[in-house]
Homo-oligomer: A and B are copies of this chain.
Amino acid sequence: MLQTETKDEPATATGNMRCLIKHHAGTELEYRSDRAIPEPGPRDVRIKVSKAGICGTDRHIWEWDEWAASRIPVGIVTGHEFVGIIDKVGSAVTKYEPGLRVSAEGHTTKGLDYNSRTGNAHIATDTKIFGIDRDGCFAEYIVVPEENVWPVHPSIPDKVAAVMDPLGNAVHTVMAADVSAKTVLVSGTGIIGLMAVTVAKAAGASRIFATDINPPRLALAKKLGAVESYDAREGTDWIKDIKKQTRGEGVDVVLEMSGASVAIDQSFRALRAGGTAALLGLPAKPVTFDFNENIIFKGCTVFGINGRRMFETWYQMEELLLSGRLELNDIITHEFPLEKYKEAFETMISGEGIKVVLDIA
């Protein structure tokens, strides 16, 4: 078993806990203090949650949009980004012991299909996600399969460990595209796009360009290491400028984080022949797309990116954090106690905050 970090095993909890639940088929979440602390099954561990990040997905659930209404079971505890301490393990658990500080991968699978058995469980046919399909981490305790546990390196602070899930999206996208010694366009500087800027730089991108339609985020992209950031509302001269800076050819790599159909098209136009595009941003609907000009004539490579590789991405993330080169302080802007969850969501939804974290312990 992996060594625990504390010698004194904590007394395991019973009784009720505080949490946020999707209480009705409508907007917002509800705070409760009377939810029964869950018991782990034979192959599960129970984790006492320290901090949890609020994801864009949580915003969809809060706002109860069409996607949320079609997917989220009313009554569940939401939230899927977190760090905490293992508090109890199931009878057949062999890998971990109480006392270990951990995060966890949110995608669960039975482990039977091709991708689950070849290091790609993140795209299994039967994936379920904490806080979306079953109880999540906006709670004092969460139960997860031991397979999903990620022991957190001691040098990584809780605030950062709480957001390894979205950071992992950025790392997965950057590493899939192979940015080392290459020029990179980050298309869309939302939370994960901004993370992608600092990740790409730490991972060896030579020169990073960023586009968005939000000037403060564009300014932050430059602070995080982009050599240029362009306001895409001001026409497409930025594509010419990028070509001018790249031997007239375009960037080696596009990281598409916006999901905006115009941005997807323009990004491909800024990509050199033979270049690579990694697509993470989800368009709201099907896109009218010129395959000939954007992909086929240019001989480009496109990667669809979903979740985090289980668990290659997590190792890469740990290494990038240990490198000391990731700049996350300007991205994780706010922390609120669980009880101030309304203020936390409002800060995030208004755009005043970027990544907002809930303190739960």
Contact = CB atoms under 8 A, between A and B. Distances in A.
A219 interface: no
A21 interface: no
A319 B273 contact: no
A122 to B, nearest CB: 7
Interface string A158-178: 000000000000010001001
Nearest to A246: B114
A11 interface: no
B178 A180 contact: yes
Question: Contact residue range for chain A?
Answer: 35 or more
A-side interface mostly: loop
Contacts of A350: none
Interface string A172-201: 000100111111000000000000000000
A115 interface: yes
A251 to B, nearest CB: 11
A13 interface: no
Interface string A297-318: 1111111111101111011100
Contacts of A91: 42, 92
B111 A95 contact: yes
Nearest to A147: B111
A206 B320 contact: yes
Interface string A201-238: 01111110000000000000000000000000000000
Contacts of A264: 291
Interface in A268-315: 272-274, 279-280, 282-283, 286-292, 294-307, 309-312, 314-315
